[in-house]
Each structure stands twice: as structure tokens, then as C-alpha cells.
Amino acid sequence: MDSDVDLEHLMACYQQGDSAAAAALVRALSSPLHRFFTMQYISRRHADDLLQETWLRIHEVRHTYRPGQPVRPWLYAIARNVRVDHYRKAHRAESREASLEEGAHIPQAAADARASGLEGLLAALPESQREVIVMLKVTGMSLEEVARATSSSVGSVKQKAHRAYETLRKGLR
């Protein structure tokens, strides 16, 4: 059901107010979107919140989708922006809390404890490389789709993926 043509058709119908098409989109794309958030080392609870926020934002901006264009890059660009907004908000909150508690620092033990096996190798990647690997390998997007979703060139996506693969190969040795 989630072939690109089907998704484009569902999105066009959703823009016209078809609630069944909206429900079908949510069913088809929620699981990959949730994986996108959880692979970014966000807790399951936060991933659930970000998924809900993403669908709300998609609903608000559905008029910006251009019929005939691939849905996934458009959708993942929105999801990526929601995630970035989440990080910015969390960083501001952490900064305020840290300034209230002099000398306070946030321990990395929780993040380090989660970093085992493949997750540990992915955690060692820079954010931009990890994001590209997740989009390519976990969600199955094409290079062109990842480039659109990240507002990058295909060459830049290839370079990030290549560097990530090299780092992962070294980590697996």
C-alpha cells in the first residue's frame, strides 16, 4: 500500500479533505516515522510525542504539498524540523535549569548505558551522518529523497553516508 504512487494519491486526497486518505497515510507512515525518531536516540515516550507533533504539523501544512511530488521527502523534512524544534526547546530548558543550579551538569551515563552494539556504533556518528543512515537504511528512502528531506544535494548525502559507513566499519573491527 505504501508505494510512492499510492502515497502521492493518498496525500492528494487528504488535501481535498478525505479523512479516509488521512487515516491511511497515518497507518502507512507512522511506524517508519516512529523508527526515525527512536533511531535518533530519543526515548520511546518522546518519540511518541514527536510523532504526534509531526502529524499535527502535517495537518497544518498539508496545503504546501505539491501533488505529483514524492510524499516521503516532504514528510521527513517536516519530521526533521519537528525533531530539531524539540532539541532546541530541550536545550533552552536545560540551559535555564543549569543556570539555576550552579555547577550542575547533566550526566552522560544514561546515554552511554544505551550505547551498546549497533546502537553504540550509531551513537558515535555525528548527528548529520546518523540521520542520513537512518533515512537510507531504516526508512528505505532513496538518495534523492534523503537529499530533499535534509535540504542537501545528493552528493552531500552520499558523502555523509560514505563517511558513516567508514566509521561503522572501523567500529565493527
Q: What is the spatial distance between Cα 108 and Cα 43, in angstroms, rounded to a whole number?
A: 15
Tell the residue number behind the cell numbers 550526566, with chain if given: 107
- Assigned C-alpha cell, 10: 493518498
Domain with CATH 1.10.10.10 in the chain: 110-173
Helix axis angle for 44-61 and 19-38, nearest 10°, is: 140
**C-beta separation of 171 from 121 below 8 A:** yes
Q: What is the spatial distance between Cα 161 and Cα 146, in angstroms, rounded to a whole number?
A: 11
- Average of per-residue pLDDT values in the chain: 83
Would the pLDDT of 123 be above 90? no
Q: What is the spatial distance between Cα 20 and Cα 61, in angstroms, rounded to a whole number?
A: 18
Q: Higher-confidence residue: 96 or 75?
A: 75
Percent of the chain at pLDDT > 70 equals: 81
- pLDDT at position 64 is 94
What are 23-56's pLDDT values in tens digits?
A: 999 999 999 999 888 887 677 888 999 999 999 9
Domain with CATH 1.10.1740.10 in the chain: 1-83
Average pLDDT over residues 111-124: 62
CB neighbours (10 Å) of residue 110? Answer: 9
Q: Is 1-83 CATH 1.10.1740.10?
A: yes
User: Fold for domain 110-173?
Assistant: Arc Repressor Mutant, subunit A (1.10.10)
**C-beta separation of 67 from 5 below 8 A:** no
